[in-house]
Amino acid sequence: MEKGAFLGWHGGSTQPLYADYGSEPSLLRRFWFWLTDRDLDKERDDYIRQWHAEEVEFFNKIGVKQAITIIGMMPAYIDKRDAKLFAYNKELLPKLGANIRFQDEKPAEFLEDGFKVVQVFELNQKELDEALELHECTLQLNGW
């Protein structure tokens, strides 16, 4: 990563297990599904599960833990967030399987005007292990 570049995640396919996407389907969209006798919730769930399967396949292929997309959305961390995007310090990234080289000490967090773009989390090994275990349990409990 070049000096001054931003690195961050905004969630992933398992985000609905931890936080709401923040937007409900419009009344018109719901009405259209009702008119066409389609189940909006089932189609959304099917789409997200397919997305999850593809996301897991991709991350397995590149050797990165899929949870990298979601740890910042988990209850223990979302309350600490003060930016839309989240990332991890350079010591934690390899533990998640990400092999990212930095030209500078760390990626940028703030724009020049002081607006915070990315929250960088620093988890110790115990915290990381707990987050990964919680993620696996959450997936299992939800039939993923």
Query: Which of 9-13, 60-64, 117-121 has the least mean pLDDT?
Result: 9-13
User: Residue 140, class by beta-carbon neighbours within 10 Å (0-12 exposed, 13-18 middle, 19+ buried)?
Assistant: exposed
What average pLDDT does this structure show over 15-32? 68
Contact 46, 144 (CB under 8 A): no
**Closest Cα partner for 7 from 114, 116, 118, 105?**
118
pTM of the entire predicted model:
0.77
3-state secondary structure of 85: strand
DSSP 24: P
What average pLDDT does this structure show over 88-105? 89
Per-residue confidence band for 28, with pLDDT thresholds at 50, 70 and 90? confident
**Closest Cα partner for 119 from 95, 88, 90?**
88
